[in-house]
Amino acid sequence: MLSSRILAGDTHQISSAVEAERNSDVRDAAVPVPVNSPHDQAILVGLDGWHLSRAQLDVFPEPQLAHDRRGSHWTFDGAGYVSFVRQLRDTSFITNGKIITAPSFDHALKDPTPNAVSIHPHHRIVIIEGLYVFLAIHPWSDGGLLLDERWFIQVDPKEARRRLVGRHVSTGVAKDMKEANWRADENDIPSKWSLNIFGAFLCSYQLSIQMGSS
């Protein structure tokens, strides 16, 4: 049994949190440690849970823009996510048995569900899946520094876009293929491409630091 928690952040190139087969990809990466089954040491938490609700977007200065750009980093509760990671980093759970909760995203309701995921003391490996574990701006960068590892998983851009559009329709994010294609091209893919630059930079920078200290 590990004496503390290992925190890993995972993001997919282009598609990330809305990529249709994300959970299976992360579980494959975590083998041979089982994930998200009773009494497993590892658990998967998605960043989708930190989406701001539609009611919160309604009170933005430009609510229509906020809804159109839902999924951009500024439509998430970044501070809430960082607070969650800080709780995971606190090793007092070993003695006090504290259970930490995280939100999830309900695609039927199109809103987050608070306290939907429970991280128990026996969960010693926490994999946080989502695009913004690599984002190098405040407050997301604070959360990134608290992680032990960050995994940048490359996906073929055409395949990623196909999955992205299909997921928008199947989950009701878009009412039809036309709207799904618009959301992919005008909102999701630009955000993911900008992060690819950050991700590639961070990976190479972290590698150079590790090599320099070895």
Sign of CA dihedral 48, 50, 54, 60: negative
Structure tokens belonging to residue 195 = 């992060």
Tens of pLDDT along 154-188? 777 777 778 878 877 877 777 889 888 887 777 77
Residue 201 lies in a domain: yes
Whether the Cβ atoms of residue 112 and residue 103 lie closer than 8 Å to each other: yes
Tens of pLDDT along 42-69? 999 999 999 999 999 999 999 999 998 8
Number of domains in the chain: 1
Structure tokens belonging to residue 92 = 């007092």
pTM: 0.73
Tens of pLDDT along 112-148? 999 999 999 999 999 998 888 888 889 998 998 899 9
The pairing of beta strand 6-12 with beta strand 149-153: parallel
**Nearest Cα residue to 134 out of 202, 73, 194, 205:** 202
Residue 1 lies in a domain: no
Residue 111 has pLDDT above 90, yes or no: yes
Q: Assign residue 188 the CATH number of its domain.
A: 3.40.50.300
- Would you state the pLDDT for residue 18? 35
Q: Quote the domain boundaries for residue 71.
A: 6-213
